[in-house]
Structure 1
Amino acid sequence: MEHASNYGLRDEIKAYWSARAATFDLSPGHEIFTDAEREAWQKLILRHLGEGNGRQALDLASGTGVVSHLLDDLGFAVTGLDWAEPMLDLARAKARKRGRSIRFRLGDAENTMEPDSTYDVVVTRHLVWTLVDPKAAFAEWRRVLKPGGRLLIVDGDFVTAGFTEKALKRLAKLLQKFGLLKADAVPASPDMMEAHRSILSRVHFSGGARANDVADLVTAAGFHDVRVDVDLRQIHKAQSKHWNAFSAMARGIQHRYAISATKPIADASDAPR
């Protein structure tokens, strides 16, 4: 009798994002459609990482390369890493079209296989909520950073919804049902929504990735100067123009944040072995 399949949660996550690749860049909050949003993202990056000046940046779970292009704009030498090949195909095509020299490689953000102390900055957007083992992932990200290197995480709690957010979403659905409100672009299919719910119920942050909990794990992984930044208002304001009014308000009150941290200059992981 055959044993159960080895196809597990991480495989499901990879398959989910591979399936999402085709429409990923059509969704507000994924691709950037206006100069105002691009400038808001760049200000956030500059606030935490400073100018690139040729420094090496690793964009983890880079998808179609949206954040990689922001980093490239600011003068970083960028490597994008993603384990969904359809995402990488689109990222490489986009970079060619825009004349960028960004490198995109196939790899696992939780086990990068990158050399020790290689990157000046490591950046992630909307990755942490999907992590199966964030403790190991954060240790891995510290490993590939140079001493003094910076980590920037942009993420949110996409599980916990307060009364106001729930009410806005219910009202939006009701108005859409009666044709009184335009639906948001690229709605997910019922199958994809169910896959998302199933994955979310089983990842480490199944109860929601709260900023303080993530920051505590980053600190425990050996990072210093851990900063939590919840001022993403300019990004939300720019994105809101592409959502209906109720969806924009609901997204604007979600718990979204940026966390930055520094790998210590004298890090035990860099000692001779």
Structure 2
Amino acid sequence: MQAVSTISNRDLRDEIKAYWSLRAETFDSQPGHEIFSEDERAAWHALLRKHLGPGEGRAALDLACGTAVISHLLDDVGFKVTGLDWAEPMLERARAKAKARGRQIRFLMGDAERTMESDDTYDVITNRHLVWTLVDPLACFREWHRVLKAGGKVLIVDGDFVNTSILTRLVKRLTALAGRLGLAGDAMHGAPNSEMAATHSSILSRVHFSNGAHADAVAALLKEAGFSKVTIDRDMSAIHRAQRENFSFFKGLERATQHRYAICAEK
């Protein structure tokens, strides 16, 4: 009789998909995910226009779209938007939100690393807080290069949350202390409970950027994948200022000290 294998048929990508499926329920309730003020919305619109130009009906692919926060911002400024995500609970909320707002956004289930979209299809590709989760970013960036039209652009919004500065570490400790004293209710923002936090840490330890998705490292891989005119924009201050309205003082200060960035690269 053949022995039953004890090897799991579940790989890291499956774990990442399951994690974000669970996060879907509370995703839109957290500042820094959904948009909570018109000032923040305007700041995001400015970032999109700065790097991508006016929408004018051009085709945009919003990868790992989640509940479609960035998809709606792209729609606001005139892009024809397709949102792609591999977590069905996220897509359920994305579709419901688009229906409630009367938006004509197309949603597909799919993997940002293997989109299954045709060559030379999109004018722009966007993603927010996706790159740090990638298992094989070089292959992924080559995939994005493939589905972009000539002259198309990818806009990445992400951060290095591993290699934090001394100031960021100090502020994070103050945020945690403030949370224990009841002065910062959002001290555990991004980690709803200890089990989810442990899952997050486990995933982070095994992805490509386990040592941090620094902007320069991401830009280098984009160039290796064939992109040109790679621009790193480290000025996220307008967005962070607007988000602080919905953060505690300590959480807002912590965010302002982090290595967050936008990277635009052209095919």
Alignment of 1:209-220 (within 5 A): 209-220=213-224
Deviations 1:203-225 (A, max 9, x none): 00001000000000000100111
Whether 1:12 and 2:18 are equivalent positions in the alignment is: no
Of 189, 197, 204, the residue aligned with 1:200 is: 204
Deviations 1:166-194 (A, max 9, x none): 11121222232233x13118651111101
- CA drift at 1:165: 1.3
Q: Secondary structure at the match of 1:26?
A: coil
Of 233, 246, 263, the residue aligned with 2:250 is: 246
Corresponding residue for residue 231 of structure 2: 227
Deviations 1:91-110 (A, max 9, x none): 00000000000001100000
Deviations 1:192-245 (A, max 9, x none): 101001101110000100000000000010011110100110001111111111
Which amino acid in structure 2 is aligned with residue 153 of structure 1? Answer: I
Whether 1:183 and 2:185 are equivalent positions in the alignment is: yes
Deviations 1:65-96 (A, max 9, x none): 00000000010000000000000000000000
- CA drift at 1:140: 0.1
Is the Cα contact below 8 Å between 2:171 and 2:254 reproduced in 1? yes
Corresponding residue for residue 141 of structure 1: 144
Of 32, 35, 39, the residue aligned with 2:38 is: 35
Alignment of 1:96-111 (within 5 A): 96-111=99-114
Corresponding residue for residue 268 of structure 1: none
Corresponding residue for residue 49 of structure 2: 46
Normalising by the residue count of structure 2, what TM-score does the alignment of the two structures yield? 0.96
- CA drift at 1:6: 1.5
The 2-side partners of 1:257 and 1:126 are apart by 10
Deviations 1:118-161 (A, max 9, x none): 00101111100000000000000000001111111111001112
The 2-side partners of 1:91 and 1:170 are apart by 34
- CA drift at 1:32: 0.3
Which amino acid in structure 1 is aligned with residue 142 of structure 2? Answer: A
Which amino acid in structure 1 is aligned with residue 28 of structure 2? Answer: D
Q: Identify unmatched segments of 5+ residues in structure 1.
A: 264-273
Whether 1:2 and 2:4 are equivalent positions in the alignment is: yes
Corresponding residue for residue 153 of structure 2: 150
Q: Secondary structure at the match of 2:246?
A: coil
Q: Secondary structure at the match of 2:153?
A: strand
Q: Secondary structure at the match of 1:241?
A: helix
Q: Secondary structure at the match of 1:124?
A: strand
Which amino acid in structure 1 is aligned with residue 94 of structure 2? Answer: A
Which amino acid in structure 1 is aligned with residue 201 of structure 2? Answer: R
Corresponding residue for residue 131 of structure 1: 134
RMSD (Å) for aligned C-alpha atoms = 1.1
Q: Secondary structure at the match of 1:59?
A: strand
Corresponding residue for residue 269 of structure 1: none
Q: Which runs of 4+ in 1 moved over 3 A?
A: none
The 1-side partners of 2:44 and 2:215 are apart by 19
Q: Identify unmatched segments of 5+ residues in structure 2.
A: none
The 1-side partners of 2:175 and 2:53 are apart by 39
Which amino acid in structure 1 is aligned with residue 165 of structure 2? Answer: G
Which amino acid in structure 2 is aligned with residue 199 of structure 1? Answer: I
The 1-side partners of 2:56 and 2:155 are apart by 17
Whether 1:256 and 2:260 are equivalent positions in the alignment is: yes
Of 65, 70, 73, the residue aligned with 1:67 is: 70
Of 16, 21, 24, the residue aligned with 2:24 is: 21
- CA drift at 1:24: 0.2
Corresponding residue for residue 164 of structure 1: 167
The 1-side partners of 2:158 and 2:258 are apart by 11
Deviations 1:42-61 (A, max 9, x none): 10010000000000000000
The 2-side partners of 1:109 and 1:2 are apart by 33
- CA drift at 1:10: 0.5
- CA drift at 1:163: 1.6
Greater mean alpha carbon deviation, residues 158-167 or residues 21-30: 158-167
Q: Secondary structure at the match of 1:228?
A: strand
